[in-house]
Amino acid sequence: MTDAAAVRDSVRRAETIVVKVGSSSITDERGLNRDRLVELTEIIGKLHDDGKNVILVTSGAVATGLGPMPIDQRPSDLPTLQAAAAVGQSLLMTAYTEELAAHAVVTAQVLLTVDDMVRRSTYRNAQNTINRLLAMNILPIVNENDAVATDELRFGDNDRLAALVAQMAHAEALVLLSDVPSLLSAPPEDPSAVRIPFVAGPDDLSSLTIGGSGSAVGTGGMATKVQAAVIAADSGIPSVLTSFDLAVSAVRGQDVGTYFGPTHSRRQTRLLWLAHLAEPAGSIRVDAGAAKALTEGGSSLLAAGVVDVSGRFEAGEPVDIVDPRGTRLARGLPNFSADELPQMFGLSKSELGRRFGVSFQREVVHRNDMMLTKNGTV
């Protein structure tokens, strides 16, 4: 679906939507901005009145927690950030619960980590919880569990988390709330900047300068919002990026904000994470035959085609798969660690079984745990 009017109509008809709000939209240098939060809850109330099932993905725990803490500015060390998140999350949820009660909306807190989204068991539990909450007409309020997330394994911002939650919940639309009404053709300070009403695919973004590394109280920016829309599009979910005052109109399908059309059918959440969020822990080099089998035959990667590994990775950690020249072919989740693989180079499954036992008679990377690249990009 690449027609702008059709995408707007699909957003209008969406029954389940994910709404993402960032720290800069509901907090300031003093902490939680209650007036802005009231505006947001009024939006959610109107969407509920329209019959929408809403999942709210919110940032703001750290910024909210900084208010009552003896800190002058956003800290950079992880322990203090996590302490601020622990303080702020309860304050944030209390505020949401109080303000949404005025709209007869019951709230529920759902805190997630990257691990929750890529491990099958915890992913399924989170999915079941969110689905049950929606079935009971309860609003799930999702945030990254900053108090326990490690520095090496984080979403980095909640824009991308929102895209993954949209996929998890089988949402039909993603709404990315911003401090500006739409994506622009140039930075906002440029007088030539005009609204971009529709993005059909990544090619429409290639000539744009998309800046914004986040505010003093947040980690996101316009670039991460666009990336979230691209992730959602890659899973078949249309998105709209807009501001508070235009949000309800955008969800009703009016020609405001910037709509992003879906570019792919739905993918598994862990493959979206693998393609768009995962940082490779190393690489696996394959021979020419294996490279052809992967890219043209859709095959799994077998030990017979592996010639080298680099980096330090455990089984299940993301790695790049590269051809003899070092060009990336895919990113995948291997069944073996960097220490185990060298003894397996060039061996068939039967040889692996004879030498090391039946547990080694597996693919190095199964096709279902792999994302092929396009022009070197996952």
Distance CA 306, CA 290 (A): 8
What angle do helix axes 158-168 and 222-233 make, rounded to 10 degrees? 20
Q: Are 56 and 142 in contact (CB under 8 A)?
A: yes
Query: What's the confidence (pLDDT) of residue 211?
Result: 60
Q: How confident is the model at residue 119 (pLDDT cuts 50, 70, 90)?
A: confident
Query: What's the confidence (pLDDT) of residue 221?
Result: 79
pLDDT, tens digit (0-9, with 9 covering 90-100), for 273-313? 777 767 899 999 999 999 999 999 889 999 999 999 999 99
pLDDT, tens digit (0-9, with 9 covering 90-100), for 201-245? 888 887 776 765 444 444 447 888 998 999 899 889 999 999 999
Average pLDDT over residues 338-367: 95
Residues of the chain within CATH 3.40.1160.10 domain(s) are 4-274
Question: Around Cβ 50, how many Cβ atoms within 10 Å?
Answer: 13
Q: What is the CATH architecture of 278-372?
A: Roll (2.30)
Average pLDDT over residues 31-56: 97
Q: How confident is the model at residue 268 (pLDDT cuts 50, 70, 90)?
A: confident
Q: What is the CATH architecture of 4-274?
A: 3-Layer(aba) Sandwich (3.40)
Contact residues for 273 (Cβ-Cβ < 8 A; gap 6+): 114, 117, 118, 164
Residues of the chain within CATH 2.30.130.10 domain(s) are 278-372
3-state secondary structure of 234: coil
